[in-house]
Amino acid sequence: MEIKENTFIVTGGASGLGKAVVENLLREGGNAAIFDLADEQGQALAEQLGNAAIYCRTDVADEDSVENGVNKTMEAFGAIHGVINCAGIGIPAKVVGKKGPMPLDKFTKTIQVNLVGTFNVTRLAAARMMEIP
């Protein structure tokens, strides 16, 4: 995949693996849309990187939030050429502990972000990628 002069959405791009991916993309001449919920880190990173990066506050599991991020990416760069999904959570809990079974909502939240969120961003970005001539 050609990185130079292409634009990529990076979920979880404000820290950790996602941040490293964003920095690598820009080092290779690409653009990055940082999708994250860590406003302070995401905005600071985008400002540090200059015109080749934008921060979009995005909840990957929320359709409207992702659509808004995709729209901002298109407005800023005119196209999307790829998605790199790094957003993910892991809620530390035992399946069964001293207080009984782990609350189902903890597991459900993990699935929403890690599985549904990945699919959600990929499908909405792919729809816009199909518009590239």
> How many angstroms separate the CA atoms of 110 and 106, rounded?
6
With beta carbons less than 8 A apart as the criterion, state whether 26 and 48 touch.
no
Q: Which tens digits make up the pLDDT trace of 90-133?
A: 988 889 999 999 999 999 999 999 999 999 999 999 999 998 77
Residue 26 inside a domain? The answer is yes
Q: What is the CATH number of the domain that holds 41?
A: 3.40.50.720
Question: Taking residues 55-68, what's their average pLDDT?
Answer: 98
**pLDDT tier at 85, thresholds 50, 70, 90:** very high
Residue 28 inside a domain? The answer is yes
What pLDDT, on a 0 to 100 scale, did the predictor assign at position 1? 82
SS3 of 2, please? coil
> How many angstroms separate the CA atoms of 45 and 109, rounded?
27
Share above pLDDT 70 across residues of the chain, in percent, rounded to a whole number: 100
Residue 99 inside a domain? The answer is no
Question: Taking residues 12-27, what's their average pLDDT?
Answer: 98
Residue 15 inside a domain? The answer is yes
pTM: 0.94
**In the predicted structure, residue 48 carries a pLDDT above the cut 90:** yes
Residue 24 inside a domain? The answer is yes
Q: How many domains does the chain have?
A: 1
Residue 43 inside a domain? The answer is yes
Residue 48 inside a domain? The answer is yes
Mean pLDDT for the chain? Answer: 96
**pLDDT tier at 74, thresholds 50, 70, 90:** very high
The pairing of beta strand 100-101 with beta strand 96-97 = antiparallel
The full 3-state SS of 97-108, as one line of letters, equals: ECCEECCHHHHH
For 76, the domain range is 7-88+118-129
Residue with the bigger pLDDT between 56 and 91: it is 56
With beta carbons less than 8 A apart as the criterion, state whether 43 and 26 touch.
no
Share above pLDDT 90 across residues of the chain, in percent, rounded to a whole number: 92
